[in-house]
Amino acid sequence: MYELFVAPLFETYFQKALIGGSVVAVVAGVVGCLVVLRRMAFLGDALSHAMIAGVAGGYLVMKMLFGLEAHAPGMLLGSLLAAVVTVALISFVSRISRVKEDTAIGIMYTGVFALGVVAVSIFRHYIHIDLMHFIMGDILGVADADLWVGAFVAAFVLSILILFFRQFQLTTFDPVMAASIGLPVLFLDYLLTTCVSLVVVSAVSMVGVILVVGLLITPAATAYLLCDRLDRMMMLSALFGVTSVIGGLYLCVLLDSAGGGAVMLFCTLQFVVVLTVAPKYGLLARWLRLSRMVPQQTVEDILTTILRHGKPAPLSIIRQYAENTKGLGKALRQMVRDGLLEERQGNYGLSKKGETEAAKVLRAHRLWEAYLDRIGMPQEALHATAHHLEHLQGRETADYLDEKLGRPGVDPHGQTIPARKENGPEGKASR
């Protein structure tokens, strides 16, 4: 236990990875919420790929002009420039041609990425960039410069997002209203894109080009499943980012695997767990909701069966007439709970509310029979078809039939059609 959990904490590489990773994960998580809500996920991918051209360019320029080897600020500036140029190209192409935005993103980022790869290999004698390192990242080999970049970016981006939280919230949620009250919507869009670029640039050195988009959107999407407010979603997303880094680093020590991969794997597992168990938007909750629901048709069949029986009916009678006998017991219990039925010594009788509902269905059934008879459907098919159609929603349907048939009063079998009740459960007469 000690070996696994405490010993790594005394290793410098582990400390740096933990601190650097957490700082980047917090800011990626927060800005990622806006990325997810604006459906910009693919853009994060594009930015990270475009970076390599910028890094190569920055490296080359600094070396040629100033003779500086692997100048970090130069490469950072280069990546930002490349990111901005890529975004500009994407919006330019999608605006002036018939090519849609998702395709434009795909074209531009692969193009700029390819340019970077070619540049790095042509100038391999001048610039020493390890492509594999760049693509896969190395969270366990975080350089001090990367730490400083990460800290600076985090401070800058978080300040912007906190300061302009309302503005970002509104332009993301309702850009038209935002513009109508005079918010600089376009400027805010650029500001956010710049923030995303900064975060991507600072995160690439740790998790690499391929995984950075995951760090940006997975914690945010995880929080999205749990929150109904943007501020809380951002806080939770930051937390999930940090837990991914911590969990991932231990996973990497335990399995002796690649650092960036382990972090993203842990992050994804976290998402899958939340997706399963989230109380409101999770799969289990959804499944439970569905299984608790009793189909309206079963409810209506039970109601009319008891109404036709004329007195409280035992389960055996109900089973005989109901079309769908599966889950009948559950349906009956639910209906007692909903106040539609009353149970007395194994017999189920209609409550006042149940009676009203049953009469409504019966009315629909008999009106449908009358209508089907009128349009010339053979006698033997009347009941089955009407039985199916009686479950159509909305009282307007039955009213329409009633009116169309000239308020017949009796159905083809000579049975009375219940009159329309004005005081339904909605308590509102519509006219």
Partner 1 sequence: MTTDSSNTRNSLNSIGPKAVKYAIEVEHLTVSYNARPALLDVTVRIERDQLVGVIGPNGAGKSTFIKAVLGFIKPDIGSVKIGGVDVRQMKGRVAYVPQRGAVDWDFPVTVREVAMMGRYQRIPWYASATPADREIALEALHMVRMEEFSDRQIGELSGGQQQRVFLARALAQGSDILLLDEPFAGVDAATERAILEVLERAKKAGKTLVVVHHDLATAAEYFDRLILIKQRMYAYGTPREVLQEELLSKVYEGRLRIFGTVFREEAV
378 binds partner 1 (CB under 8 A): no
Smallest separation, CB 278 to partner 1 (Å):
13
Give which of 408, 401, 402, 371 is closest to 386, Cα–Cα: 371
Q: Residue 376: what are its φ and ψ, rounded to 5°?
A: 90, 25
Pick out residues in 114-143 that bind partner 1 (CB under 8 A): none
Query: Quick one: which of 12, 316, 423, 430 contacts partner 1 (CB under 8 A)?
Result: 430
Interface mask toward partner 1 for 393-412; x: CB under 8 A: --------------------
Smallest separation, CB 95 to partner 1 (Å):
13
Q: Which stretch binds partner 1 (CB under 8 A): 15-23, 166-174, 269-277, 301-309?
A: 166-174
167 binds partner 1 (CB under 8 A): yes
162 binds partner 1 (CB under 8 A): no
HEC assignment per residue over the chain: CHHHHCHHHHCHHHHHHHHHHHHHHHHHHHHHHHHHHCCCHHHHHHHHHHHHHHHHHHHHHHHHHHCCCCCHHHHHHHHHHHHHHHHHHHHHHHHHCCCCHHHHHHHHHHHHHHHHHHHHHHCCCCCCCCHHHHHHCCHHHCCHHHHHHHHHHHHHHHHHHHHCHHHHHHHHHCHHHHHHCCCCHHHHHHHHHHHHHHHHHHHHHHHHHHHHHHHHHHHHHHHHCCCCCHHHHHHHHHHHHHHHHHHHHHHHHHHCCCHHHHHHHHHHHHHHHHHHHCCCCCHHHHHHHHHHCCCHHHHHHHHHHHHHHCCCEEHHHHHHHCCCCCCHHHHHHHHHHCCCEEEECCEEEECHHHHHHHHHHHHHHHHHHHHHHHCCCCHHHHHHHHHHHCCCCCHHHHHHHHHHCCCCCECCCCCECCCCCCCCCCCCCCC
Smallest separation, CB 180 to partner 1 (Å):
5
294 binds partner 1 (CB under 8 A): no
Pick out residues in 63-82 that bind partner 1 (CB under 8 A): none
Q: Is the CB of residue 299 less than 8 Å from the CB of residue 348?
A: no
Smallest separation, CB 397 to partner 1 (Å):
13
Query: Quick one: which of 7, 163, 277, 381 contacts partner 1 (CB under 8 A)?
Result: 163
Pick out residues in 19-38 that bind partner 1 (CB under 8 A): 37
110 binds partner 1 (CB under 8 A): no
Smallest separation, CB 428 to partner 1 (Å):
7
174 binds partner 1 (CB under 8 A): yes
Query: Quick one: which of 122, 155, 177, 288 contacts partner 1 (CB under 8 A)?
Result: 177
Smallest separation, CB 37 to partner 1 (Å):
6
Query: Quick one: which of 61, 93, 107, 169 contacts partner 1 (CB under 8 A)?
Result: 169
Query: At a CB cut-off of 8 Å and minimum separation 6, what does 398 contact?
Result: 360, 363, 364, 367, 420
Q: Which stretch binds partner 1 (CB under 8 A): 142-150, 164-172, 243-251, 380-388?
A: 164-172
190 binds partner 1 (CB under 8 A): no
Query: Quick one: which of 227, 340, 341, 367 contacts partner 1 (CB under 8 A)?
Result: 227
Query: Quick one: which of 170, 294, 332, 359 contacts partner 1 (CB under 8 A)?
Result: 170
Smallest separation, CB 163 to partner 1 (Å):
7
181 binds partner 1 (CB under 8 A): yes
Pick out residues in 37-66 that bind partner 1 (CB under 8 A): 37
Give which of 22, 17, 27 is closest to 196, Cα–Cα: 27
233 binds partner 1 (CB under 8 A): yes
Separation of alpha carbons 426 and 423, rounded Å: 7
Residues that contact partner 1, how many (by CB under 8 A)? 26
Q: Which stretch binds partner 1 (CB under 8 A): 23-31, 168-176, 196-204, 357-365?
A: 168-176
Interface residue list for partner 1 (CB under 8 A): 37, 163-164, 166-167, 169-170, 172-174, 176-177, 179-183, 224, 227-230, 232-233, 428, 430
